[in-house]
Chains A and B, each alone.
Chain A
């Protein structure tokens, strides 16, 4: 299995409001940037969508290390998801997105690592820029 690192970040202007996500897929020395936006969304939804879109871009099973500044995403993946599945996402926010995450992550071996946001982590800063750019573009477009 190829080892890939997925850096990701999400942003929502107003939370909820226009939102964007940014992700960097890194395999060895090469990488690909992914970004996108949604009209009305929350920070957590965008954080999770960044992971989903990043995983969707992988076209073969990989060992993926997700690096995110969102403890919601990191703890969700590493600790809470098993319990949520058992109780069928009852009273859990964003069940559809989590189900999509489970679907797209099925082929991969996943681990998530938390980093402090805005702490000089270059890839996290880049993802933050990508996410904010997309959110701003969306905000301008729906004005």
Chain B
């Protein structure tokens, strides 16, 4: 039994005590460090919270009334929140400013609030805000323009058309907007047959000579025959993406043979052999390319107003809100649909 208990005079006892002391010190310093780290993080969190949280209404009231932070500074802060996509915070700041700040910038702040509501997708609140501005200042073109956008997003096209009236009184050119909204009303009316829709859209096209891409996108989908009959071939380049995707059976070769661009386009598509080359680089390349090469046309869309590029067609630029400013750019891309085989292409 004595074998199991070492005497305190035994040198081994001293070594064991030494290691126990080291272990205790290590454990204590480990826990101390962990505790200190936690405290540091807590302190850091509290410090960062100051920047995350917008002051409460009372704090803001005091800050604004005492001039601790000017209204302009708050507006700049709200604007930076909007730019970083943190709409919630900028809405909070604008709302507080409207409650406590002086009334000199009231309309501007209200407009910024409405604009942020619109950008954040709170359409009903945006509508109410712009209507509030217009109640006291009916001749505010910016508020009217945004109210129109809100109604358009809400698919309330008739109300959007009503907004055009005061805009025209303010000497704004509303012809494109009018054609666009009228076309949208027709396209979204499920009670009109596709034939009637086509006729009504053609009426708009003939009357305004606008909305070419929007109207012919629909026409080529539902009735290519009518589309070809009514197409102004000088505008072919505007709808080159639609024409490229048109089925061979839907083509009107009488019209195609009259226009060099169309001949080149469908020669590049290998539907006909009526062109040996083209001034358009992409078409020239496809015309002269080996028919077995897997290449085709892709399209990119550019807003002529703000130069924003899109991989999809648009009717109203969502960046600058301009209508009928889309330009179609040609690209050479790999033809994935030739020798098509079914296989999953998920990258997840």
Q: CB-CB < 8 A to B155: which residues of A?
A: 133
Q: CB-CB < 8 A to A85: which residues of B?
A: 342-344
Interface size on B, residues (CB 8 A): 34
- B residues adjacent to A (C-beta < 8 A): 120-121, 153, 155, 188, 190-191, 241, 298-301, 308, 310-314, 317-319, 331, 333-334, 336-337, 340, 342-348
Contact among A32, A60, A105, A138 with B300 in the assembled complex (CB-CB below 8 Å): A60
Q: Please determine whether B190 and A140 come into contact, CB atoms closer than 8 angstroms.
A: yes
CA distance A78 to B344 in the complex (A): 8
Residues of A5-57 whose CB lies within 8 A of B: 25, 27, 29-33, 37, 57
Q: Shortest beta-carbon distance, A119 to chain B, in Å? A: 15
Q: CB-CB < 8 A to B299: which residues of A?
A: 59-60
Contact among B318, B333, B342 with A31 in the assembled complex (CB-CB below 8 Å): B318
Contacts A106-B345, A111-B347: A25 and B312 contacting too (C-beta < 8 A)?
yes
Which of B121, B191, B347 has the largest number of chain A CB atoms within 10 A? B347
Contacts A60-B333, A126-B121, A140-B190: A29 and B319 contacting too (C-beta < 8 A)?
yes
Contacts A110-B346, A133-B155: A61 and B336 contacting too (C-beta < 8 A)?
yes
Interface size on A, residues (CB 8 A): 42
Main secondary structure on B side of the interface with A: loop
Main secondary structure on A side of the interface with B: mixed
Q: Please determine whether A57 and B313 come into contact, CB atoms closer than 8 angstroms.
A: yes
CA distance A37 to B334 in the complex (A): 32
A-B contact pairs, 17 of them (CB 8 A): A27-B311, A27-B312, A29-B318, A29-B319, A30-B310, A32-B313, A61-B336, A77-B344, A102-B343, A106-B336, A106-B340, A107-B336, A109-B347, A111-B346, A112-B348, A138-B190, A140-B190
Q: CB-CB < 8 A to B153: which residues of A?
A: 33
CA distance A106 to B153 in the complex (A): 31
